[in-house]
Chains A and B, each alone.
Chain A
Amino acid sequence: MAFPYNDTVLEHFKNPRNVGRIEDADGKASEGSPACGDMVSVYIKVDEETKKITDIKFESYGCASNIATGSIITEMAKGKTLEEAKRITWQEASQALGGLPSIKAHCSVLAVECLRSAILNYEEKHGLVVNLEPTTEEIVRKKLRRVMNPMKGLDMVATNLVKEIVVSEGVIRVVVDLPEDHQFAATIKEEAKERLENLWDVKQVIIEFSRTWQRE
């Protein structure tokens, strides 16, 4: 039979590892929302001395690539130090799964980010986080590097979809180099907004689409 995913992904989807909750977790986080169709929660236990992840569990409301990535990433992070675990990338998780369809990148990248957020949550609780800095164009660009371009399977910055970024008095304006009625315009808009809206000093996010975009 022909399935949309490879055998490794299907294996993790059918029998996800480290599923569940840690009630007395040292760090925990959720990424995504029911609205975007994918949501992940990650719970970690950390050894205070060695800063190693001694236990990790995840929950997923999402599609197969979301569940499989949650499963593989918890396997990869277990036993690693926080610094090591932070550096696990989506590409590495995808590689460990034998490759994910690029169009599904945005569903699976959530699990990777959720792991980082759970680590950040631990660091915040233990006073390990540096001071808040004001949002700049560079910070916006960095955030947008986590928004996938489903046409390429790479982020929207790397694929030159970001035409313009303006940050002024708590308002971020981003111009995307796509027509408004493009197949993926709505998804990209929603994801970009989600990435930027939780910046501490941002009141409003405006995502606009370029009218000059020409089909190749």
Chain B
Amino acid sequence: MIQKIIYMDNAAATRLDEAVFEAMKPCYFENYAVATSEFGYSQGLEARETLAEARASIAGALGAAPEEFIFTSDSTESSNLALKGVAKALGNKKGKHLIVSKIEDFPVLQSARALERQGFEVDYLEVDDLGFVKLDQLESLLREDTILVSIQHANHEIGTVQDLETIGRLCSEKNVLFHTDATHTFTRLPLDVRRIKVDLITVSAHTIHGPKGIGGLYVRRGTPLEKIADGGFHEFDLRAGIENIPGAVGFAKAVSLVTEEENARLKVMRDRLIEQVVAKIPLVTLNGDPQKRIPQNANLSFHHVEGESITLHLDMYGIAVSTGSACFSRSLEASHVLMAIGGDHERAHGSIRFTFGRYNTMEEVDLVVETLATIVENLRRISPLGKQGGV
């Protein structure tokens, strides 16, 4: 049976836009030289120029100067560099204390844990039941020896958008560096370093229909940062390794293709899905804030059923989504994000994340809701939970 695939896991990966692919092609077949020093041969100089253009256009989208933006292999590397690079630069000077939120994605969370094993001290900031970090707690945790605060712009699972303006102000008042993981917000929400006091920003191309394997880190001028992988003097001596010029060009193109209209369209699909699910399926909880959430994310928990069973049924209908259930994850642990906002296992195990992208349609949204309603009803029928008089 030939089935149309409905891909609603755009937070994990996105379909490459053809225009991005076309923009990248010449970097593979025409001028595939690496960027040389300014005394190199002509192809190398041309490649250097191409890279500089891509850098300037992405930096511009953040309101930053070109030399404040470096390319990396993805957001994992960017966040590793932000946390470990600052720790390396300031650990023996200013102090060994960091603050990260409890609901960070793994690159930040695991980097923080790695630093803890090296003798750094990390405080894990709590969140409320909608996923907002507790700002009064942040204020009380900031110390003389705090070197970095890392709080994501929006959560990768539940989509809650943090108040970066206030967080940035609190940090700068105490002279503490502030890093934010903007993997799921870059180009989808406004983020301008001239307005927000943020020193380091993680971004990636894979969430906006760009290629996989290219990301970036904004580094505010003067930020103490040391590179963590040794090699050449690339990327202003902050990130050694051959430049991924096709990736950089693709990333820049992907950034240029995101429009206000598109973001508004994603939001309409998001709201339609939430509204329809709540109307058609009983016992559903929306995870995250209804308003302050990224336009492309809906996350819902279906009581009395388990997420992996839902995703597998949906998969058999050609629908790809993800879940916070333990059974879906590589560690067999329930989503740390859903546990942090509610502490309720059943809510985590029954959660489904839908993330929209350029190629999703309204028709798909309606089809997904309809399919989901049948699946949840069937699974509830065989579930021992939510019924009277069980064992």
Chain B residues touching A, majority SS: loop
List A residues 54-82 near B (Cβ within 8 Å): 59-64, 66-67
What's the minimum C-beta distance from A13 to chain B, rounded to whole angstroms? 7
Residues of A within 8 A of B306 (CB): 37-38, 61-63, 66
- Tell me the interface secondary structure of chain A in the complex: mixed
Please determine whether B309 and A67 come into contact, CB atoms closer than 8 angstroms.
Answer: yes
Point out the residue from A3, A13, A34 that lies within 8 Å of B385, measured CB to CB.
A34
Q: In the bound complex, how far is the Cα of B315 from the Cα of A16, in angstroms?
A: 18
Asked whether any CB of chain A lies closer than 8 Å to the CB of B333, the reply is: yes
Bound-state Cα–Cα, A15 to B254, Å: 44
Q: How many A-B residue pairs have CB under 8 A?
A: 92
Nearest Cβ distance between residue A111 and chain B, in whole angstroms?
A: 12
Q: How far is the CA of A92 from the CA of B347 in the complex (A)?
A: 33
A37 near B384 with CB under 8 A, answer no
Q: How far is the CB of B371 from chain A (nearest CB, A)?
A: 14
In the complex, whether B185 has a CB less than 8 A from a CB of chain A is no
Bound Cα distance A146, B6 (Å): 40
Question: Could you tell me if B332 and A187 are in contact, using CB atoms closer than 8 angstroms?
Answer: yes
Q: For this complex, into which size category does the number of interface residues on chain B fall?
A: 20 to 34
- Cβ–Cβ contact A13 & B312, under 8 A: yes
Q: How far is the CB of A16 from chain B (nearest CB, A)?
A: 6
Task: Determine whether A14 belongs to the interface, using a CB cutoff of 8 Å to chain B.
Answer: yes
Contact among A13, A59, A184, A187 for B384, CB-based, below 8 A: A59
Does any Cβ of B come within 8 Å of A154's Cβ? no
| B370-391, CB < 8 A from A | 381-385, 387, 389-391
Given contacts A3-B315, A63-B327, contact A39 B384 (CB under 8 A): yes
**A-B CB contact pairs (8 Å), 26 listed:** A1-B315, A3-B312, A3-B315, A3-B316, A4-B312, A10-B316, A13-B312, A14-B316, A16-B382, A20-B382, A28-B391, A30-B391, A34-B345, A36-B326, A37-B326, A37-B349, A39-B384, A41-B384, A61-B304, A61-B385, A63-B327, A64-B312, A67-B309, A104-B327, A184-B332, A187-B332
